[in-house]
């Protein structure tokens, strides 16, 4: 760190020091500085206790306890010139102890702190009496009219903040590993600096977040969001698979009890579609079950694009005859930019409301029976002409 001298247009190096050589202690100095100036961590925090020892069956005490703007508890562990090896284990214990604190207990903890150290809140205040009330201060901090409107210390959202002049490798390695497992923690490096001689010595303190750096934090937030999205997608897919399997079990049973024999040997599946052979290679009939609609389809999906378009065009010449026999207009999808072609008929349904399943299944059975009958003869004729064309080409 350097001092800028504007008059000489030069910079001069400030001397970095250790806390011990300056005679500073963890409890009487570093802890007090941070308790009075918690925005040194780059955010608004409300310190609600220091040297907190209100844990059952243990005499351990954490350095500082705070609330963030989301109502999460923040455990702050301070070390002077070296973190030591056990600081993370120590903080994790404190976070586990704090995880059970409810709203009433948090208010009582803060009130106890105010009763002992209320000068932090009455300084320069015209309403000292009101400012000493924990409930009021928390509401003001969270910008809510009443504590009944907020949740404090939700779930396992406790955060950890570490403060030290130097971090051992085992500490930073463990911190990075915990971050990768979505444990909310930050490591701040604090460095005291001095300028001038003993008589005119000026002291400075640099507070720098080293884990995660702001850039890495943004990246990790993005990764966490992506992982959460992926997990949500996996759960959603599992739910969809379960729904589809249940639907097809009922639908195929209804098909087997009908005059349609296409799906007699087909098993339920987790997919949104079920195929059955039409008698023409790679040209199946299909039942489609979606979230917003159901469909009956005839797909021309042979390996050669030319074969699919040839068969589609032959069937299209019989469009009026096919639709007349079917009893409704069909969708004719040549799909020139794709290999396959398709003929389909559809209807909108709320498919994932199982109260609608009997109606959807009844519709699919009835439409597939008509669909197969309407296409049967034209399909046989088209298949024969396709075979003749292939034979002529060979």
Are 322 and 383 part of one and the same domain? Answer: yes
Cα 269–chain centre separation: 29
Has residue 311 been placed in a domain? Answer: yes
Has residue 112 been placed in a domain? Answer: no
Residue 245's CB is within 10 A of a number of other CB atoms, namely: 13
Are 68 and 195 part of one and the same domain? Answer: yes
Are 274 and 339 part of one and the same domain? Answer: yes
Are 241 and 160 part of one and the same domain? Answer: no
The torsion angles phi and psi of 265, rounded to 5 degrees, stand at: -110, 20
Indicate which CATH number applies to the domain containing 338. Answer: 3.30.1460
| pLDDT for 147 | 85
Which domain-ending residue is among 166, 182, 212?
212
Are 280 and 384 part of one and the same domain? Answer: yes
Are 298 and 246 part of one and the same domain? Answer: yes
| pLDDT for 355 | 92
Are 167 and 255 part of one and the same domain? Answer: no
What is the rounded CA–CA span in Å between residue 308 and residue 339? 7
Are 262 and 199 part of one and the same domain? Answer: no
Residue 164's CB is within 10 A of a number of other CB atoms, namely: 24
Q: Which two tokens stand for residue 269?
A: 């599946």
- Structurally, how many domains does the chain consist of? 2
| pLDDT for 130 | 43
pTM: 0.55
The residues, ordered by sequence, that sit 6+ positions from 352 with a Cβ below 8 Å of its Cβ are 240, 243, 291
Are 190 and 264 part of one and the same domain? Answer: no
Are 36 and 164 part of one and the same domain? Answer: yes
Per the CB < 8 A criterion, the answer to whether 189 and 162 are in contact is: no
Has residue 113 been placed in a domain? Answer: no
Are 171 and 275 part of one and the same domain? Answer: no
Q: Which two tokens stand for residue 254?
A: 């209804």
Has residue 86 been placed in a domain? Answer: yes
Indicate which CATH number applies to the domain containing 39. Answer: 3.40.1350.10
Burial class (CB in 10 A: 0-12, 13-18, 19+), 218: exposed
Domain enclosing residue 182, as ranges: 2-101+153-212
- Looking at residue 40, what DSSP letter applies? G
List average pLDDT for each run of 10 residues in the chain, which is 394 residues long: 88 88 91 94 94 78 93 94 87 92 94 81 46 86 85 91 92 89 91 82 90 61 54 61 91 95 93 94 95 94 94 96 96 94 95 92 97 96 89 64
| pLDDT for 127 | 44
Has residue 178 been placed in a domain? Answer: yes
Q: Which two tokens stand for residue 141?
A: 């901090």
Has residue 8 been placed in a domain? Answer: yes
Has residue 118 been placed in a domain? Answer: no
HSE value, Cβ hemisphere, 13 Å, CA-based, for 148? 1
Are 183 and 245 part of one and the same domain? Answer: no
Has residue 279 been placed in a domain? Answer: yes
């Amino acid at each position: 760190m350097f001092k800028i001298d504007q008059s000489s247009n030069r910079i001069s190096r400030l001397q970095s020091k250790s806390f011990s050589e300056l005679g500073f202690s963890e409890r009487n100095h570093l802890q007090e500085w941070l308790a009075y100036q918690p925005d040194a961590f780059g955010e608004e925090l409300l310190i609600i206790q220091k040297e907190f020892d209100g844990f059952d069956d243990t005499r351990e005490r954490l350095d500082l306890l705070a609330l963030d703007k989301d109502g999460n508890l923040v455990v702050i562990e301070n070390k002077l010139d070296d973190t030591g090896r056990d600081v993370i284990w120590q903080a994790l214990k404190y976070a586990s102890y704090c995880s059970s604190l409810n709203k009433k207990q948090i208010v009582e903890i803060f009130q106890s702190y105010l009763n002992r150290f209320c000068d932090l809140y009455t300084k320069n205040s015209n309403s000292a009496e009101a400012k000493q009330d924990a409930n009021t201060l928390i509401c003001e901090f969270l910008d809510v009219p009443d504590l009944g409107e907020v949740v404090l210390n939700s779930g396992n959202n406790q955060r950890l903040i570490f403060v030290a002049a130097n971090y051992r490798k085992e500490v930073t390695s463990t911190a990075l590993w915990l971050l990768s497992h979505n444990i909310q923690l930050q490591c701040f490096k604090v460095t005291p600096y001095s300028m001038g001689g003993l008589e005119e010595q000026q002291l400075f303190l640099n507070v720098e977040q080293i884990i995660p750096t702001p850039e890495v934090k943004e990246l990790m937030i993005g990764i966490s969001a992506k992982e959460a999205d992926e997990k949500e997608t996996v759960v959603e897919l599992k739910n969809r698979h379960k729904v589809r399997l249940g639907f097809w079990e009922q639908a195929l049973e209804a098909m087997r009890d009908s005059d349609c024999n296409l799906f007699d040997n087909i098993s339920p599946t987790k997919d949104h579609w079920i195929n059955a052979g039409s008698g023409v290679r790679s040209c199946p009939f299909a039942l489609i079950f979606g979230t917003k609609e159901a469909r009956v389809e005839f797909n021309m999906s042979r390996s050669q694009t030319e074969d699919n378009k040839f068969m589609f065009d032959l069937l299209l010449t019989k469009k009026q005859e096919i639709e007349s026999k079917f009893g409704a207009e069909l969708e004719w999808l040549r799909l020139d930019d794709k290999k396959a072609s398709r003929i389909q008929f559809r209807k909108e349904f709320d498919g994932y409301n199982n109260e609608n399943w009997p109606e959807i299944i009844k519709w699919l059975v009835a439409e597939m029976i008509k669909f197969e009958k309407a296409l049967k003869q034209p399909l046989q004729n088209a298949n024969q002409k396709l075979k003749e064309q292939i034979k002529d080409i060979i």
